[in-house]
Amino acid sequence: MGLFSHREAVRLPGRDIHNHLLPGVDDGFRRSADSLEAIRKLADAGCREFVFTPHKNPEIYETDEALLRERYADFVGKIPAEWGVKTALAAEYMIVKDFEERAADPELLTYADGSILIEMSYYYPSENLEQTVFELEMAGRKPILAHPERYIYMADRLGDFDRLADRGCRFQMNWMSLTGTYGEGSMQILRYLLENDLYSFICTDLHSLHQLDSILAIRLDRKLARAVETVLAKY
């Protein structure tokens, strides 16, 4: 019996609502061929619905929503129909200064139900996070904060997550975070959000084929595996 004998595989979500599979528009997949390979592998692993969420950060990328819509239309035509895969386009919005001013902008790429994926820097919080959550709520766009467990500067202010949740913000975990690869601060946040039932989604946030191999190889101890199942059962 080895050290990992009690570890188990967990199923992937049937629907992945955060990934960078749309090729050539951000720091995710570059080539269509690689995206297609990843989609096929994920579909084989049981994930059949994808919402592509390219980064939208005006400080780094020049892509606007119109261009993303265009690229999406080009790419989805390449996915073979026999794979039985459903796709949609949203985006991952960096909460840059004054982002809240776009809260009601009809151009924003949201999920079909009007929810919107937002993120912060891994190094420092967005000063306008709470204001953004408030303005998005007012505009009828329920915010989903991407990978809160990666904002390790929040490990010593875990109560902030409860306050955000009270204001209608939901939280999305990254698969890779479950491996502890982002450090103890990240695991503290992850455990807190899991124990308090604050995660609504678990996603690949996939950027490359290499990352996919790591995700497919994840094995968890029983307690973590059960907690993950509880989140996945929500959607």
Q: Which residues bind Fe ion (CB under 5 A)?
A: 92, 205
Spatial distance between the Cα atoms of 185 and 178, rounded to a whole number of angstroms = 12
Smallest separation, CB 171 to Fe ion (Å):
14
By beta-carbon proximity to Fe ion, the closer residue of 181 and 230 is 181
Closest residue by Cα to residue 155 from 119, 134, 182, 127 = 182
Residue number with CB closer to Fe ion (135 or 205): 205
Residue 146 CB, shortest distance to Fe ion, in Å, is: 6
Buried-state track 149-161, b at ≥16 Cβ within 10 A, e below 16? bbbbebbeebeeb
Nearer to Fe ion, 52 or 192 (CB): 52
| In the complex, minimum distance from the CB of residue 51 to Fe ion, in angstroms, rounded to a whole number | 12
Contacts of 172 (CB under 8 A, 6+ apart): 17, 18, 117, 144, 145, 146, 147, 148, 199, 200, 201, 202, 203
Report which residue's Cβ sits closest to Fe ion: 205
Of residues 91 and 225, the one with the C-beta less far from Fe ion? 91
Rama region for 163: left / alpha / beta (φ>0; ψ in -120 to 50; rest) = alpha
Locus of tokens 């902008």: 105
Would you state the structure tokens that stand for residue 233, as one six-digit string?
A: 């059962």
In whole angstroms, how close is the CB of 205 to Fe ion at the nearest point? Answer: 4
Smallest gap, in angstroms, from Cβ of residue 76 to Fe ion? 19
Q: Which is nearer to Fe ion, 26 or 135 (CB)?
A: 26
- Rounded CA-CA distance 106/104 in Å is 6
